[in-house]
Structure 1
């Protein structure tokens, strides 16, 4: 007959598995902290600036500019595409709202240098930003004149400017067909 011994693991052996798990968690955390960008949890870096001389600026539509080789979409504003809506001018003549918005933007940037604060990229790959020409913020000026609408992501001040332009019947709000709210939903 054989004597069977039942051994208990030593206290050190019982701690090996929990220690191995704790070590793996610690190493994973260390590797993860090295892989995560440092500014992810800290303060955001300043937004980059894009500056263009007056001769480098081209107006593509009522909210899109070409600054040299860079295409920039004005942030937090919406304008109709050319041919998408018709408006009436002060004399009652019908005109293309999209073309009129582009002309209004061209008037704001004419002969002025431009400074834009980059805020991201849209779904089409265009750079989004807020731009100033001659001390005038372009998006806010277009909305106040009625040639652009405040996007859903706009500041409350921009939405207030849109409401004032609507009440005054300026720009797109001067008997636009289809109504500005209709083409906004379609965009």
Structure 2
């Protein structure tokens, strides 16, 4: 075997300094971010309740239980409105979309007024769950009281009472001759 002689040998890299430099960089970056202040939603420190508001011109009805306040989406808490595409029948036997009817009722309750919502938590789609008011009109209560939404089983008593009154008076989708959404027939 021949002895091979190396003529070129690469310079030693300062590997022992590489780990220390990275650690130093991360430490300086962390200190800078702490000094600037972190958003309150990080590290589990987000407030449990938030107040969201928008002027009437910047509020959109998404469906019977969902509003868009500027760039935020809020679902009215404590109620269940029919989804768009849900078929109902009126007293004359004509079919119509109950979800659209619920959205139209919500739009009438809004009447292009400013909206303020108290948001507590999120639903499974990431929307804020809120109790909303337009001027002096309670939107959650108004939609149920008009007969276009059901009170959730864990909703406040006032919403359950409003649903019972709407049923008794035959308002909205509880009107005589109307066929309510199939999912509502399973409710007590």
TM-score normalized with structure 2 length: 0.68
Structure 2 counterparts to residues 59-78 of structure 1, below 5 A = 59-78=61-80
Task: Show structure 1 runs of 5+ residues with no match.
Answer: 1-44
| Residue aligning to 1:136 | 137
| Residue aligning to 1:82 | 84
Give the conservation status (yes or no) of the 8 Å contact 1:72–1:129. Answer: yes
Structure 2 counterparts to residues 1-187 of structure 1, below 5 A = 47-88=49-90, 93-174=94-175, 175-179=178-182, 181-182=184-185
Cα offsets for 1:117-139 (capped at 9, x unmatched):
01110111111000000111101
> 1:160 Cα shift?
1.1
| Residue aligning to 2:29 | none
User: What is the RMSD computed on CA atoms of the aligned residues?
Assistant: 2.2
CA shift in 2, pair 1:86/1:53, >3 Å: same
Task: Show structure 2 runs of 5+ residues with no match.
Answer: 1-46
CA shift in 2, pair 1:108/1:154, >3 Å: same
Rounded to whole Å, the distance in 2 between the matches of 1:184 and 1:84 is 16
Cα offsets for 1:35-93 (capped at 9, x unmatched):
xxxxxxxxxx772200101111010000001111101100001011112231426x765
